[in-house]
Amino acid sequence: MNITGIAEIMDKSLDILRQKFKDIVMYNLVYTMILGIVGFLLIVLFAILGIFLVSSSDEFSGVITYVSVLLTILLGLYLSLGTGVINIASKTVLGEKTSIGKSISLAFKAILKTLALTFLVALTLIPAIIIFYYMGRGFIDSFFNFINFGTFTFRLQWLIFIIIPLFMLLLAFFVAILYLIFYIYILQEMIIEKKGPIRAIKGSYRLIKNNYFTTLKNVFLVLLSVYGIRYSFESIVTLVVAIIYLAGVLFGIEQDMMTIFTGIYGVMTVPLTALTWLVITPVFFIMTTVMYYNERAKKDGIDLYMKLETLKKQRKEMAK
């Protein structure tokens, strides 16, 4: 694998998706069912624990703590899904074979490791969580004070209460992306190099060290590509529904029919959501895996090792 730019990385990633389309879709479908069962049981368990947690502490703090822990666990389960995709992508890059069953087994065995990874990453997020906690707490207190004792003009105050949450969400997204870069290759280090959570974090940091802003740019472009594909499909669905609605208006169809056509949008988004989950979502893990090998080629010369292994295989085949 030669050292490449982001355009070549995207091309290589889409080529892997094309080659392993059936394997990736089948893996996602089967493993999602497993995650669905595990996730449902965890949600029920944490719903019971959440009632106790919220009732035994300050209501706002209890909710924040409960939601944070639950989201961390669900994120850990989601990352375990990515481990199987990474295994398929990695074997494709190396020119080796793997099976759907082996990827599922690998992902299932990695659940405890991905849960440990998410909790370790969450620990480093504590300063940001505390800051956003007090920002959110202050915003909610100010909002209820306004409801009860509002002194500003109605329009100005409500405008402020709309802008501030949007600003906080954008700021949280920006901070999350900045943190994400430090951990962008932890799953690859864990699956490909078979490292533990702490060593995987160190390995990821080593690869992005002195290359942070380039990696940030590449990750931003990858996310933009993934969500661009997702919302381009959604825009097509929206356009079709809008045309149906416009045709109904032009032909004087009853309003009840318009409600039916509006419901069509909900029906049409079901296969779109399934398509996104089974096909588009794995693109992120594939692209970051290609990026991982690209960084390893730059820093460790792994591309030379891969070429040597290819030559060895060719010599064995010729000797037969």
pLDDT by residue (tens digit) across 105-146?
888 888 888 888 888 888 887 777 777 777 766 666 666 666
Is position 267 within any domain?
yes
Is position 1 within any domain?
no
Least confident of 70-84, 94-108, 193-207, 252-266: 252-266
- Between CA 24 and CA 140 the distance in angstroms is 44
- Between CA 248 and CA 193 the distance in angstroms is 58
Is position 87 within any domain?
yes
Closest CA to 172 of 225, 209, 135: 135
CB-based contact 58:141 (threshold 8 Å): no
Query: pLDDT for 242-273, tens place per residue?
Result: 676 667 666 666 555 556 556 666 666 666 67
What pLDDT score does 289 carry? 92
The structural domain count of the chain equals 1
> Would you tell me the crossing angle of helices 212-250 and 281-300 to the nearest 10 degrees?
160
Is position 320 within any domain?
no
Is position 177 within any domain?
yes
- Which residue blocks in the chain are alpha helix, DSSP H? 6-19, 21-55, 59-94, 100-109, 111-124, 126-149, 154-182, 186-192, 197-208, 212-250, 255-275, 281-300, 302-319
| Average pLDDT of span 69-77 | 79
- Between CA 165 and CA 136 the distance in angstroms is 9
Per the structure, the complete domain to which residue 55 belongs is given by 6-314
Is position 253 within any domain?
yes
Take residue 103 and report the two structure tokens written for it: 């990827």
Is position 68 within any domain?
yes
Whether residue 319 has pLDDT greater than 60: yes
Is position 54 within any domain?
yes
6-34 residues labelled b (16+ CB within 10 A) or e (exposed): beebbebbbebbeebeebbbebbebbeeb
